[in-house]
Amino acid sequence: DAKTTQPNSMESNEEEPVHLPCNHSTISGTDYIHWYRQLPSQGPEYVIHGLTSNVNNRMASLAIAEDRKSSTLILHRATLRDAAVYYCILRDRGSQGNLIFGKGTKLSVKP
């Protein structure tokens, strides 16, 4: 699976939007972009995924660059509960299903 690059940490204020970037310049045509997050002392949880088009769900939005070499996870209104480590992961549909995590971005949310 191709590698991703994320900032180590980011800060946000409560109730403001948060844009979490991810670079994946070596992405292949069959790689899906997945985001998981891990709240303190919990297992990771699925957030969203996409291939080419932007995606929205109840948790977040995923904006994918036209060349697919980068993407951005958007939390529209950060809450204190969104403080977590966010992982951007590439998954090739043709490969085995295990996730390859990097170090992720630790998001802090200030009240």
Q: How many residues bind another protein (CB under 8 A)?
A: 22
* Binding flag, residue 86, another protein (CB under 8 A): no
C-alpha span between 46 and 38 (Å, rounded)? 9
Residue number with CB closer to another protein (12 or 36): 36
Distance of CA 107 to CAs 84, 92, 96, Å?
Answer: 5, 27, 29
C-alpha span between 94 and 111 (Å, rounded)? 43
* Binding flag, residue 55, another protein (CB under 8 A): no
* Binding flag, residue 103, another protein (CB under 8 A): yes
Residue number with CB closer to another protein (40 or 111): 40
